[in-house]
Structure 1
């Protein structure tokens, strides 16, 4: 018999909001956390804006040793994991360590730590042969992305399956699905699953500048992230983390846990088409949605809300609008759709888990977050994108989708229990 998996704890570190409740309040208020980059000197870059986390490691509970050891992405992940554990009320000391798993997603790993250390070792790029003696003791850990999962595992002394999932911008969705699968197959009883990324560095900005994917609207950073708006001109980089505590449903009920929702269905597809390009018909995403619904044993008409990838690039927004119509038929015109990237930016691999946290809170609070900055309708994006203002809405089933460079397309279905 397949074991049902539920979410019993949520931890979030997001732009404009460190903590689950602050994050939810930012969303329902429709506030944006995008601004001029302050983490490095962005002068000369095409896009000089981002959604940054106002993060004080000491205030977040990290020791000086932890701060020195961990890259910013790892710090985010550990702080989010600690909040999720507290929220769940799960007694990790009461379960065998071999039955605790961890699944963490990340698109770019410890980018900030690596770039900062290269800058020091090469003396700002002056030397091709670098002097390793100037490196921090934990430099090797920055190079190995699995370090992020290891840091989270140490928090709960997890000795079960510990995995790092890196599938570009679908990493967060895929990592949570992997964690749920560990429970379904019996490899773990409880899993910390989520993702973290802190990509706001010169190298990341240069990469997206080169392909003109990010918004150049530097004079109006607050309104630069405009998914589905006719005047959108690219996505806004972000950073952050979300971690969920996943449990088998009957065990969660037996201990009287608060259940946010059930991970009812998931599917992933590749378009095998282009590294950054998307076919306009949305066929691969539509197929992922169809299979996810089948696994959840739901009909297309059962979906009450769609949390869109909604990056704010012209091709992506048209692509997934077509995918919703292809997979849901006429129901696509009736179901509310929104993109929280309009408020917290696009944190690459982390955003999928942050969006799943928003979906779980939507089920719990029965309120649909808005798409901020959506003022001018794009005729090619003609669905109900919940512009500007959050909406009370009866919600029993939520669809969350992600689209990643390399052709990754993922869809997850969460249901109320």
Structure 2
């Protein structure tokens, strides 16, 4: 591993209520919510009937009829966001050795919407035990293998270096970026286009989370249904979206005069080896990931100015996370603003980690901490500063963003201004 320092020079976000990084930041900084009753299908048979949907028109983003038919909705998000991130970076990839440009894409559930839709077609609405392949979409295989996401992004940006899909559940969005950073640090790639995408709002996904009662049944007020750290919370709100970044070595970025959003100063991931959906209340494994990420960044816990929480809105996660912050940051945890953007844009599974990294980068850009919406009745066991309801002006030179996923995955990433990080 070399001492190459990796920075973010391009950012794009497609999120509920905010297509594009400016609209996304406007939503967050104003504390607005994008959760609503499900419109993609009839949700009446389900326990949870709310979601954070994106009003996305692929044709408006230049995708043609053949591309729209070939790509699942999540793949469409990915290629649009990745292309825009490259444009934002100002990097002319045609002038780079394509074998030194790579792609990592995070996704928890792949082409769920496309597979769900196509199964209804080939099974004639579920009436056929033996499905009729004659009715299948010609590109159905691409829906079946999530590696198609990385291939589509690589084709879009002209990358011929490492091309990988990272699927670690709800930490996929952080882990995909962490893996990309490692490839640049070790010298395998010079530029990485990294991020994540998921479009899981489909009947099969709702049924899966209904079965374990993880999603909220609060239907009467969907805009207030996502309530991280609130004492009345009763599950998360499913969402969708994508966020992508251009990552490159700091010296190279400075030589070409690029705008540097932040340095990815530290990253770590751990597993609790405990339970498929359960979390130990002590937050030990998340705290270990945080400590390791801080060590890699060569930053003391007191250097963290803001924590972008996983904050899903389930009782066990919010308490587990609170314990992890106290364990890893010590007394500084009580002085550090913490917030969850899932209160506004829902939980987009594998995509949310990247979307939260984008929120962290923009918080640093604007020196504003986004709020935790719908936090009216704090849980006494969640006793940190969760920035309720209203955004707060606050210097954010170093930000910690964390993720927690079913299966026991716990990931942490530290972002810092390059001049603040260790040389």
Q: Structure 1 length as normaliser, TM-score?
A: 0.99
Distance 2:326 2:371 in 1: 20
- 5 Å-filtered alignment, 1:236-385, equals 236-385=237-386
Distance 1:63 1:31 in 2: 32
Distance 1:159 1:85 in 2: 15
Distance 1:416 1:387 in 2: 26
Aligned match of 2:19: 18
Distance 2:115 2:45 in 1: 22
Aligned match of 1:97: 98
Aligned match of 1:396: 397
Distance 1:40 1:16 in 2: 19
Q: 1:340-380, CA deviations, whole angstroms, 9 ceiling, x for partnerless residues?
A: 00000000000000000111111111111100000111100
Distance 2:298 2:62 in 1: 42
Q: 1:183-210, CA deviations, whole angstroms, 9 ceiling, x for partnerless residues?
A: 1011111100000000000000000000
Q: How many residues align?
A: 417
Aligned match of 1:106: 107
Q: 1:58-96, CA deviations, whole angstroms, 9 ceiling, x for partnerless residues?
A: 112211111111000000011111110111000010001
Q: 1:416 Cα deviation (Å)?
A: 1.1
Distance 1:152 1:342 in 2: 29
Aligned match of 1:410: 411
Q: Which runs of 4+ in 1 moved over 3 A?
A: none
Aligned match of 1:9: 10
For the pair 1:175 / 2:176, whether they are aligned, the reply is yes
Q: Give the superposed CA RMSD.
A: 0.6
Distance 1:221 1:276 in 2: 25
Aligned match of 1:200: 201
Distance 2:3 2:130 in 1: 55
Equivalent residue of 2:354, what SS? helix
Aligned match of 2:29: 28
Distance 2:183 2:74 in 1: 24
Equivalent residue of 1:212, what SS? coil
**After the TM superposition, which of the residue ranges 358-367 and 97-106 deviates more from structure 2?**
358-367
Q: 1:133-183, CA deviations, whole angstroms, 9 ceiling, x for partnerless residues?
A: 101110000000111111111011111000000000000000000111111
For the pair 1:40 / 2:44, whether they are aligned, the reply is no
Distance 1:227 1:416 in 2: 28
Distance 2:353 2:217 in 1: 24
Q: 1:398 Cα deviation (Å)?
A: 0.3
Q: 1:237-260, CA deviations, whole angstroms, 9 ceiling, x for partnerless residues?
A: 000000000000000000000000
Aligned match of 1:137: 138
Q: 1:372-402, CA deviations, whole angstroms, 9 ceiling, x for partnerless residues?
A: 0001111000000000111110111000000
Q: 1:199-250, CA deviations, whole angstroms, 9 ceiling, x for partnerless residues?
A: 0000000000000000000111000000000000100000000000000000
Aligned match of 1:116: 117
Distance 1:206 1:151 in 2: 29
Equivalent residue of 1:216, what SS? coil
- 5 Å-filtered alignment, 1:57-72, equals 57-72=58-73
Equivalent residue of 2:169, what SS? coil
Q: Where in structure 1 are there 5+ consecutive unaligned residues?
A: none
Distance 1:404 1:181 in 2: 21
Distance 1:25 1:216 in 2: 28
Distance 2:183 2:14 in 1: 25
Distance 2:262 2:158 in 1: 26
Q: 1:113 Cα deviation (Å)?
A: 0.4
Distance 1:324 1:5 in 2: 25
Equivalent residue of 2:61, what SS? coil
Equivalent residue of 1:395, what SS? coil
Aligned match of 2:57: 56
